[in-house]
Every structure is written in structure tokens, then in C-alpha cells.
Amino acid sequence: MKNLKLLFILFFISFITVGCFEDLDDNPISTKDLNDFVWKGLNRYYLYKDNVPDLADDRFTAFEYETFLNSFTAPEDCFESLMYQRQNIDRFSWITDNYIELQQQLNGTTYNNGMEFGLVRFSSTSYDIFAYVRYVLPNTDAENKGIQRGMIFNAVNGVSLNLDNYRQLLSPNNYTINLATYNDNGTPETEDDFVVPTNTSVNLTKTPYTENPIFIKQVLQVADQNVGYLMYNGFTRDFDPQLNDTFNYFQSQNIQNLVLDLRYNSGGSVNTAILLSSMITGQFTGQTFATQQWNSDIQSQLDPNALIYTFTNNDDGTPLNSLNLGKVYVLTSKSTASASELVINCLNPYIEVIQIGTATTGKYQASITLYDSPDFSGQNINPTHTYAMQPLVLKTLNAVGNTDYIDGLYPNFPAKETYGNLGTLGDPDETLLAIALQHIVDTGKISLQPFSNLELVGDSKDFTLTKNRMYIDGK
């Protein structure tokens, strides 16, 4: 995408408005200098700069600025003090003290035991939670030890999971899960459901793992139609060639409908989102996919044409395999976020998008990685520390201006997975896929199961740096 690369050139050669970085020396970097990096990066690129008084260019005199920096004992505290409406508007900017790990995760590599799970509580008044296994990655410790989709666990290392302890219990590279069974009490309602501990436990170990986001690709014969099914779990740029190959396969099978399963996809590369949308369609090359909106300083410096993402027919010269569809079925959950939502929102003005599942996360903003370097890029990084920031820098609008869907994108057909009987992913009888196939076969007639009131409170991707990410490539 030439406009993406141009955009990065434009804003990284621009000058820094307040001061300049001190020369590097052999001394360990001070907290004040780290706070200086935080403020200057956010002052330059933060999407909500205009809404944060302490980020104004003229906010401080030199003395006041030094006092401000010295008032924070950690860069994390300085960073948080500059966030805008943390609870509802900016829920997604973050800072890390290990950009090496961040870079690995942006490329799809994490410490992973292979067990991808969701975390659920029975109601808004319930404190205890349980986990259900969503899927198991191949060639991992979880697969080797027999973990399967649908398994339930409610304790780790013998300690029952609750809202306060689950992050601590599930963060280590090694832990033991205590399995349980799900009991629906013989009723379709969930108010009387419960989990029952068993005497079975499994020890799991995380190791570096690069996940192929193309988890399932297959063609289903439904009545007289060929239906493509793609479970796609992350917008990972390194796997774009494999994504293009997948659509070549769908082309060769002459599919008439596509079910795109994004229920466990928390986002990733904007570039990949454009490519996927262009593969689903193909008839809109050159037309507006999305428009970027930055803070007022950045916005005023950029050519308006550089702010427009367009549908494309190639990836850096490699032709895309496109299906030219006028309709797509998308399976979603609360874990569907960021670049996944971008695809749904930006296809909506052009084709019929039939969303099945639950409302999505509600992330319409994108971020970039800011390093402690003269231009905040990954070149000439300050060698005395490994801090980096991933702040929100822009929000996206679709071709008709829709954005700010803070409560998520709502489905046409609401449905949830049944935790006591998840079914097999890709099986025509699996709950969400079955609804899509029923719509295809019965021309829109849908019979829905009772809607579960069980609340999803998190998932395994919460334990990665790049949870709910939508980021811009090109640095």
C-alpha cells in the first residue's frame, strides 16, 4: 500500500514540537528522561491530544515541564496521567518496558501453551469465573496433553478462579489447570447452570510459538451451493501470502457464499484488513475503504489523499485472489475487535454483511509503536532501555463516515456459544456456523436458541501485549 508508506514518511520526517532528546551517554536512563520520551511521543501523535490539557504545546514553561516530569516515579504513571477518558474512550493505548517482546507478538509470536480459552461468569453479580477451551493450536503442549475444545476449568494450581486473581494465576509460563464439567441442570435457561470440579488436572507450559491465523479453511456442500468457511484468528502481516492462497482455493472451488469466522479475532494489521476485504470483494478496487482521522496537528500537515485507504487488487505487486461477492456472513463475539471490526464496518457500505453472534468489542482506533528515538521510529533507538508505547493515533471512518462504535457492532442475528456443548469448529452443526448455513439455505429464515446471559469477561489473548490491536504497518 503506497499511501501507507507515504504516510509514514510524512509524519516521521516532521519535526518534534517541544525540545529535542538529550545525547545518549553511558549512564542508565533516568525516570525523568523516560517520562520525557512519554510526553513528547504523546504530544506528537496521540489521537486525543486536543482533549488532554497537559499535552498542549504551550502547557508548560521549561521549569514547569521539568517539575511535571519529576512528579512521576515511573513512566507508566506518566503515561496513564495523559490518557483521555480511560474507562470508555481510550481503553486501548498502552506502554511496555519490553519492545522486543512487542515486536515478536506483532509478528504473531507469543509465549503460548496452545490452549486458547474464554473466561466467563454467570451474571453481573457473580464473582467466580470459569474458563472454556475455544480451540487448541497444533504442535503445542496443550495438544500434546490432550486438551480439546469444550473442556472446562475453574481453578489453576488448585485455586478457584475469580475476577481478582485470574490474571495472576494464568500469566506464568507454567501452571496447572483443574478441570471441571458444565451442568445446565436440565433446562435451556442459564440462570441455574453451574460447573462441577473433577479430580483431573493438567500441567501446561508456554513456549515461543508463531500462530498461523488461518485456523480452518474448508468448503461445505450446502444444498446445491458451495460455501467457503474461514476461521481467521488474527490479522498478521507475515501470513498475508497464505491468506491470498486461501482465497485462491476458494476461487478454485467456485464458492457462492463465504462464512468468515472472526469470533476469536482481536485484530492486527490495517493493511491485512484491507487485503482481506479486497479478497472478499474485488469489484471496488480504488474506491474508499476507510478514512483516517488523526489529532489536529497531524491532520493539518498531511495531504488529504494520504489519509484514504482504498480497496486494492494486489499486495506489493502480487495479484490478489478475489471472490467478487456481494454478501458475506461474519461470525462475531465480544472478543471480535479492532481490525476485525474494521472489515465489518468498511464492507458495510458496499456489500451485504450479515453478522451472527454477539456485539463486538468497539475499537475503531489504530495505534503505532513509538520508540525512544529521534523520530520515534525503530531506527537509532536509545540503547539504555527497552520502553516503547503503543498509543492510539487515529480513528477510522468507513466510506459513509461511520465511526465511534464504542459499544461494538451489533449482530443481525444475536447468538452465543453454548458453553456446555460448544460443538466442533467448522462442523455444519456448530451453533454459529449452523445459523449462517440456515440463512443461506432457507433464504433468511432463522430459528435461534435461547440467548445465554453468561457474561464473557476475558480470554487468553488478554495475556499478550497486543490484545485488541489495530496497528499501522510501515515502520
118, part of any domain:
yes
Identify the weakest region by mean pLDDT among 181-185, 403-407, 449-453: 449-453
Is the pLDDT reported for residue 107 higher than 70?
no
- Please say whether the beta carbons of 407 and 362 come within 8 A: yes
Residues of the chain by 3-state class (helix, strand, coil), percent to 5: 25, 25, 45
Q: Mean pLDDT, to the nearest integer, of 84-107?
A: 86
192, part of any domain:
yes
Tell me: do 379 and 233 sit in the same domain: yes
Spatial CB neighbours of 190, under 8 Å, sequence gap ≥ 6: 122, 184, 452, 453, 454
pLDDT at 93: 94
Is the pLDDT reported for residue 19 higher than 60?
no
Residue 139 to residue 156: CA distance in whole angstroms: 23
Q: What domain range includes position 147? A: 110-210
Domain count of the fold of the chain: 2
| Domain finish residue from 210, 227, 261 | 210
What single string gives the DSSP state of each residue in 205-261? E-EEEE--SEEEEEEEEETTEEEEEEEE--B-GGGHHHHHHHHHHHHHTT-SEEEEE
Residue 358 to residue 355: CA distance in whole angstroms: 9
Read off the pLDDT of residues 225-264 as tens digits, 9 standing for 90 and up.
Answer: 999 999 999 999 999 999 999 999 999 999 999 999 999 9
Is the pLDDT reported for residue 191 higher than 80?
no
Tell me: do 187 and 291 sit in the same domain: no
Is the pLDDT reported for residue 25 higher than 50?
no
450/262: higher pLDDT: 262
| Domain finish residue from 210, 231, 265 | 210
Percent of the chain with pLDDT over 90: 74
Residue 93 to residue 82: CA distance in whole angstroms: 11
pLDDT at 212: 95
**In the predicted model, what is the mean pLDDT of the chain?**
89
Identify the weakest region by mean pLDDT among 92-101, 265-274, 329-338: 92-101
Q: How confident is the model at residue 297 (pLDDT cuts 50, 70, 90)?
A: very high
- Please say whether the beta carbons of 217 and 248 come within 8 A: no
pLDDT at 448: 61
Is the pLDDT reported for residue 291 higher than 90?
yes
Antiparallel, parallel or unpaired: β 413-414 and 352-357: parallel
pLDDT at 101: 79
79, part of any domain:
no
Read off the pLDDT of residues 56-65 as tens digits, 9 standing for 90 and up.
Answer: 999 999 999 9
| Domain finish residue from 210, 242, 272 | 210
Q: Mean pLDDT, to the nearest integer, of 95-100?
A: 89
Is the pLDDT reported for residue 18 higher than 50?
no
Is the pLDDT reported for residue 461 higher than 80?
yes
- Please say whether the beta carbons of 106 and 338 come within 8 A: no
Tell me: do 365 and 425 sit in the same domain: yes
20, part of any domain:
no
pLDDT at 24: 38
Q: Alpha-carbon torsion 125, 129, 130, 133, what sign?
A: positive
pLDDT at 470: 58
Tell me: do 430 and 365 sit in the same domain: yes
pLDDT at 457: 87
Read off the pLDDT of residues 119-155 as tens digits, 9 standing for 90 and up.
Answer: 998 777 778 999 999 999 999 999 999 999 999 999 9
471, part of any domain:
no
Tell me: do 220 and 169 sit in the same domain: no
Is the pLDDT reported for residue 407 higher than 50?
yes
Q: Mean pLDDT, to the nearest integer, of 341-350?
A: 98
Tell me: do 178 and 254 sit in the same domain: no
54, part of any domain:
no
CATH code of residue 142: 2.30.42.10
pLDDT at 474: 44
pLDDT at 13: 31
pTM, full prediction: 0.88
CATH code of residue 244: 3.90.226.10
130, part of any domain:
yes
SS3 392: strand
Cell numbers for 57, please give them: 504545546
pLDDT at 54: 98
Is the pLDDT reported for residue 361 higher than 90?
yes
Is the pLDDT reported for residue 293 higher than 90?
yes
Tell me: do 114 and 201 sit in the same domain: yes
pLDDT at 420: 80
Neighbours of 85 (CB within 10 A): 11
Residue 470 to residue 154: CA distance in whole angstroms: 31
Read off the pLDDT of residues 415-433 as tens digits, 9 standing for 90 and up.
Answer: 988 888 889 999 999 999 9
Residue 269 to residue 337: CA distance in whole angstroms: 12
Tell me: do 392 and 363 sit in the same domain: yes
pLDDT at 188: 67
Q: How confident is the model at residue 106 (pLDDT cuts 50, 70, 90)?
A: low
Cell 492462497 belongs to residue: 245
Tell me: do 312 and 294 sit in the same domain: yes
123, part of any domain:
yes
Tell me: do 206 and 247 sit in the same domain: no
H runs (alpha helix) in 317-409: 339-347
Tell me: do 337 and 221 sit in the same domain: yes
Q: Mean pLDDT, to the nearest integer, of 174-188?
A: 88
- Please say whether the beta carbons of 352 and 333 come within 8 A: no
Residue 68 to residue 90: CA distance in whole angstroms: 22
Tell me: do 188 and 314 sit in the same domain: no
Identify the weakest region by mean pLDDT among 44-58, 87-101, 301-315, 432-446: 432-446
Residue 70 to residue 39: CA distance in whole angstroms: 12
What single string gives the DSSP state of each residue in 414-455? E----TT----TT-TTSHHHHHHHHHHHTTT---PPPPP-PE
